[in-house]
Every structure is written in structure tokens, then in C-alpha cells.
Amino acid sequence: MPLALYALTAGAFGIGVTEFVIMGLLLDVGRDLGVTISAAGLLISGYALGVVVGAPLLTVITGSWPRKSVLLALMLVFTIGNAACALAPTYPLLMAARVLTAFAHGSFFGVGSVVAAGLVAKDKQASAIAIMFTGLTVANVLGVPFGTWLGQHYGWRATFWAVSLVGLVALAVIALAVPRDRSQPEPSHLRDDLRVLARGPVLLGFATTALGFAGLFVVFTYIAPLLTQISGFSDAAVSPILLIFGGGLVIGNLIGGKLADRQLRRAILGSLLSLSVVLALMTLALHSRLAAIAFVGLLGASAFATVPPLQIWVLQQAQGAGQSLASSFNIAAFNLGNALGAWLGGSVIAHGPGLNALPWIAALLPLAAAAMCAPLLLRGSRVALSPAVSP
């Protein structure tokens, strides 16, 4: 794997930290800015919506730019956005800075997926994308715990300054390691790109992504009360257990890339069905502490095993200039799934059947996603890999 892939991984790491670290700092932010915990929680929702809107918007605006230039510009936006978060004197300005930062998120992973696929041979494209997404998973294992500790000891603004520094490092590494475009990207015409997005297999990929990831976030959004109220863990035990989840993310992501390189359609169906089975069995596993810890790790592994197959599927179906936009839309679909899962989980808790039912209800979503895409994936028609994109 070329060094340029690990430059993309560095950028993904920084973006992963800034997305998730706010979860551990909500109380600190709320106290400092004088807002309620529920209002502080909207900083997470605002970021997710920023990804959904910003991913396609920035991809369209930068469609005719060289892809390396796009990546550098996005990391610059990311760095400035985090510095603005660190400096924000009020809650509205912090929300605006979070949304600005989120705009870089979807486009970076969308364009970065195209660049990563173009750096390697066709039979290693999914693994290349998985390596880039490893930055996001490692952020959950190392970056988020450290960022939370830093914010709790030196103030939440220190965390955002630290992430800004990570952005500057990633900017420098991408500038040095990612090769210049060997050819000018195909001209981007919005009408043609929208036709690509309207293709049945591409839309199916978006829907499968959103539905599958919604299943994860029905449970993961409420993992703390599940572990404390059902499994009987103390509040202090939740963070160490989540390190197991992060380790599962890393392993599942890499395994998903390897499987997708060998047999893409089977990897998509297999990973979705595995996620559904893990969620269903988690209903029982949560009543045993040891089993609960094991299944938290399996949840992370099975969930992120779906990411490289689904991302490479969308890239394959969106031939030509529409690839970057389709890829960015699929990143938006992941975040839409996050929002949908959190909302559905909250509804189950608030209106019944309650917290205990979250895992088996969540299991229905990736199962439905598998059933939805199975007719196309099992049809037996050979879908050729799109030509490797020259970065």
C-alpha cells in the first residue's frame, strides 16, 4: 500500500476525533457556555446535519478541481473550523463553527475514497478505502479518550486546539505524500452527476448504507444506559468497555476491506447479516457482564465491516465524473443513518417497548437492508469494477 494512503488516514483520524470527542465534553461545554446538556447535545446533531448538507455541496463546488487540491482545501477548512470552535465565545458561534467543520467531513471521505481507490490495483481498492477509514476507527480508540482527558483537565477549548494541530499535520502530510493528479479530472456537470445519483444501484447503495448504520446507532447512542442499567456496570466502567468497541471498529473495518476485495456482493450481504445477528444476540448477552463486553467488541467489528464494501459498491456503480459526488452522498448516508438510529432508539425508550428492546429492534434494520439489496446482489450479473481513478 502506498504512503499516500496513510496521509489520507491521518486526515481521517483528525476528522474522527473532532466528530466524536464532543460527546465526552458536553458537560464541560454546557457549564462554560451556560447552556443545558440537551442544548449542548445538539452540537452532535448539528455536526451530523452539516455532513449531510456539506458533503454533496462542497463536492459539486470543487468538482472540476484537481483532487489533491480538493483534499488540501478541505483539511484547511477543517483546521480553521476547529480553531473557530476553540475561540467561540458563545453557543451559537460554537454551533456555527461545528457545522463549518462538518462541511469538510463528508467531502473528505467522499473524494478521499476515490483517491484511495485510484492509488492501488483494482483488486485492492476496498482494502485501500479500509486503510483510509482506519484513521476514523483509531480516532475512537486513541484520539477520543485522549481528547476527552485533555478537555477535562485543561478545558474543552484545549481539545479543539489540539485537533487543529492534528489538522495542520495532516495538511502537511497530504501535501507531501499524495501525488499530484496525473490527469485533469473529468469536467463535472451537475445534470450528468445527478443522473448518476439517480441510477437504481447507486440509490440502493445509499439506502442500504443509511439503514444498516441506523441499526448500529439505535444501540450505540444509548450504550451507556444499556451497560449500566441492564448489564449492571458502574458509570466508570463504560469508558474502558468502549475501548473494546473501538478495537472492534479497527478489526472489522480491515476485515471488511479484505472480504470486499475477494467477493464484493457476498461481503455486503454477509456483513449486514452478521450485524443483524450480533444485535439480535446482544439482547441476551447484555444480561451477562462478560458476554456484554464481548458483544460490544463484536458490535464494533460487525458494524464497520459493512463500510468498505458499501463504499466501494457505490464507487463501482457511479462511473466517471460522478464518482466523487456519489461517494460523498454515501458518506452523508452514513450520517443520516446515525441520526435515524438515534431518533428511533429514543422513540423506543420513550414510547415503548423500552430500553431492553433496543438491540432486537436494531437488528431488524440491517436485516431489512440485506433483504432490500439481496435481489440485485444475488442476481448473478457480473458488475465490473470501475477503472482505477488516477489521482
Q: How far is CA 292 from CA 113, 138, 231, 246, in A?
A: 34, 22, 7, 15
In this structure, the number of other CB atoms found within 10 A of the CB of residue 6 comes to 15
pTM (global) more than 0.85: no
Q: Measured between alpha carbons, how far is 269 from 190 in angstroms, rounded to an integer?
A: 32
Cβ-Cβ contacts under 8 Å for 368 (sequence gap 6 or more): 211
Outline where the chain has alpha helix (H): 3-20, 26-33, 37-61, 67-87, 91-118, 125-138, 144-154, 156-177, 190-197, 200-220, 223-225, 235-262, 264-285, 289-304, 307-317, 323-351, 358-377
Q: How confident is the model at residue 315 (pLDDT cuts 50, 70, 90)?
A: confident
Q: How confident is the model at residue 386 (pLDDT cuts 50, 70, 90)?
A: very low
Query: Where is pLDDT greater, at 82 or 49?
Result: 82
Q: Dihedrals φ, ψ of 353, to 5°?
A: -85, 5
Contact predicate 119/5, CB 8 Å: yes
Q: How confident is the model at residue 390 (pLDDT cuts 50, 70, 90)?
A: very low
Contact predicate 175/70, CB 8 Å: no
pLDDT of residue 383: 41
Q: Measured between alpha carbons, how far is 254 from 133 in angstroms, rounded to an integer?
A: 9
The per-residue pLDDT for range 185-216, each reduced to its tens digit, is 555 566 666 677 777 888 888 899 899 989 99
Domains of the chain, each with CATH number or no CATH:
1-185 (1.20.1250.20), 186-378 (1.20.1250.20)
The per-residue pLDDT for range 281-311, each reduced to its tens digit, is 999 999 999 999 999 999 999 998 988 888 8
pLDDT of residue 321: 58
Residue 353, preceding peptide bond in cis (omega within 30° of 0):
yes
Q: Measured between alpha carbons, how far is 36 from 162 in angstroms, rounded to an integer?
A: 25
pLDDT of residue 137: 82
Mean predicted confidence (pLDDT) in 216-232: 86
Q: Can you tell me which residue has the cell 438515534?
A: 342
pLDDT of residue 81: 93
Distance of CA 50 to the CA centre of its chain: 13
Which of 277, 289, 303, 301 shows the shortest CA–CA distance to 360?
A: 277
Q: How far is CA 207 from CA 47, 156, 163, 219, 365, in A?
A: 21, 36, 32, 19, 11
Contact predicate 361/216, CB 8 Å: no
pLDDT of residue 361: 94
The number of residues in the chain equals 391
Q: Measured between alpha carbons, how far is 49 from 33 in angstroms, rounded to an integer?
A: 22
Contact predicate 364/348, CB 8 Å: no
The per-residue pLDDT for range 75-106, each reduced to its tens digit, is 999 999 999 999 999 999 999 999 989 888 87
Mean pLDDT of the chain: 83
Contact predicate 67/101, CB 8 Å: no
For the four alpha carbons of 205, 206, 209 and 210, in that order, the dihedral sign comes to: negative
Q: Measured between alpha carbons, how far is 60 from 329 in angstroms, rounded to an integer?
A: 11
- For residue 377, pLDDT beyond 90: no
- For residue 181, pLDDT beyond 80: no
Which of 257, 255, 223, 259 shows the shortest CA–CA distance to 241?
A: 223
Q: How far apart are the first and last CA of the chain?
A: 15
Query: Where is pLDDT greater, at 384 or 45?
Result: 45
The per-residue pLDDT for range 359-373, each reduced to its tens digit, is 999 999 999 999 988
Count CA within 13 A, CB hemisphere, residue 330: 36
Cβ-Cβ contacts under 8 Å for 284 (sequence gap 6 or more): 291
The per-residue pLDDT for range 136-154, each reduced to its tens digit, is 888 877 887 788 788 888 9
- For residue 382, pLDDT beyond 60: no
pLDDT of residue 188: 57
